[in-house]
Structure 1
């Protein structure tokens, strides 16, 4: 029997960009604060560690890259983490000490091959201290493709918990109807949607997903200002004429009928708390279940390749 309630905390904040320790310190302190208010599930934004480099070009134009931009990228690469690694061990210890589930957006550095590729990754950490799973963003959006590689179907992760199944997609992956369907088909109850999109249209997206998936949607964004950017970056000039607030936030929680449980928070840092009534999920699926009684598998079918994609296969593996 699943628990009928869960206490959720959504963190809207940002670290000092490219500063791994700043992000780690905030994760520890804000998780402690949320747990102190009774949170059982604590959610951090997209690539919170080491921050979303909004507005930066890394010296790239179509057909050329600058030496200075490559150095800025190296700095971003150095601030990424390996999964598993020392930082995920710290997350595990923190989650175990406080008895919480943690969902954290990180920049993950590949450790299987060249170690040259970064991924936009969402980590799931459990209250027993273990890394329960991860999801790598399938398609980085626009210029993000210069920074991050593409994930594969092996990380379309959904985790069983005492209060239901948690999982999610990152930012504009949530505009991919087939990716959403792949999540619904795994019985997702708490759909986590970290983002870097602070526009009003994003609110329409998360409300639609909640209503379509008949699940709670927990959306989490950074509140970031120019003060969080190191001014010695070679590409700092890219944002000099921008507004002081670079990301206004907009984190929110939506119920399974598409109504706000917690309305969007804008223009400030904060921890948004709510107790979710999970009985609403079954009630909402009474008249619509996208992968159940409202599906037509005789007409539409989705094939998901959930195998890990190997660049190199040794003869001994064949």
Structure 2
């Protein structure tokens, strides 16, 4: 249990990644952490798969178009315990800052869309993996499990995180609300992908989802959105036909309060930098008085969420296998009880 400060200085990154270049990406990440630390920021949030950059190529054509990038992408995905991770942790410790960074995490021969939360002492607090990669993302990344749906209780507040279209998953959101989330780190790729083709990918729709998240959960939402640089555009847009899929820019980083209001000064969609704000944690108290979705504004006699938090393993000891089987039986029984009520 922590006594949270009334004001917390937070920052969200709006920038283009150093695309498929892990070393360059780590260097840019450290510079942004140092920049935030010099301004007294206590928590900085980075975009989805910031390291080594979002795999936009998977949306640009048939699988054969994307395959040529896979070797580079795998080799430049970060590994837990690596020197690259140590550089990130050192930057967090040097600046006494919480860092939530979106990464492509390599585990053996598999990749996962992860959000790593590094504490101000430079120690890793959590490594969550996106529960269900979206659409063609599943051609690159594996899935997380229920153990990833966590909120870290820290000295500045209870901090949770989700990636991209996880913000359209009601049960995932409710799990974090129920854990008392106060500051939510939302990670997104650029909103200039498919913007000409479908309104569902637009900045308006996805930004509104995070503004709604803040209202639904009575929390602050730190929406960090990457950008597509001219260099990334030039590498991927190699024909006139491909121009319909992507534009330069697409940065829409925002900080929303529990009343839905915008905090800090927003940047233009093609402008790199940090959106910084002092957030007043007292606003959460006032919002909860009106509506607490996992408290007085809920109806547990009508609806309830069953959340299996046991980490899933491919190889189990007999004891672990028994534990997983028991958890599955308990979850099934709870679901049946709820259905019968």
TM-score, normalised via structure 1 length: 0.90
CA displacement 1:261-296 (0-9 Å, x = unmatched)? 136532211111111111111111111000000011
Determine the C-alpha separation between the residues in 2 that align with 1:54 and 1:92. Answer: 27
Distance change (3 Å), C-alpha of 1:314 and 1:162 = closer
Aligned to 1:188: 181
Determine the C-alpha separation between the residues in 2 that align with 1:239 and 1:75. Answer: 25
| Gap regions ≥5 residues in structure 2 | 192-202, 322-341
Q: Does 1:157 align with 2:150?
A: yes
1:74 to 54, 71, 76: 71
1:126 to 101, 106, 119: 119
Aligned to 1:117: 110
| Greater fraction helix | 2
Aligned to 1:295: 298
2:18 to 16, 19, 27: 16
| Greater fraction strand | 1
Determine the C-alpha separation between the residues in 2 that align with 1:134 and 1:247. Answer: 28
Aligned to 1:277: 280
| Gap regions ≥5 residues in structure 1 | none
TM-score, normalised via structure 2 length: 0.84
Q: Does the 8 Å CA contact 2:60/2:242 hold for their aligned counterparts?
A: no
CA displacement 1:115-167 (0-9 Å, x = unmatched)? 12100000100111100002111111111111111111111121112221011
Q: Does 1:105 align with 2:102?
A: yes
Distance change (3 Å), C-alpha of 1:213 and 1:244 = closer
Q: Could you tell me how far 1:304 is from its partner in structure 2?
A: 0.4
Determine the C-alpha separation between the residues in 2 that align with 1:95 and 1:310. Answer: 30
Q: Could you tell me how far 1:311 is from its partner in structure 2?
A: 1.7
Determine the C-alpha separation between the residues in 2 that align with 1:238 and 1:87. Answer: 38
CA displacement 1:156-200 (0-9 Å, x = unmatched)? 121112221011211100100000000001110001111126221
Q: Does 1:224 align with 2:217?
A: no
1:204 to 200, 203, 208: 208
Q: Does the 8 Å CA contact 2:49/2:113 hold for their aligned counterparts?
A: yes
CA displacement 1:101-120 (0-9 Å, x = unmatched)? 1010000011xxxx121000
What is the number of equivalent residue pairs in this alignment?
307
Aligned to 2:165: 172
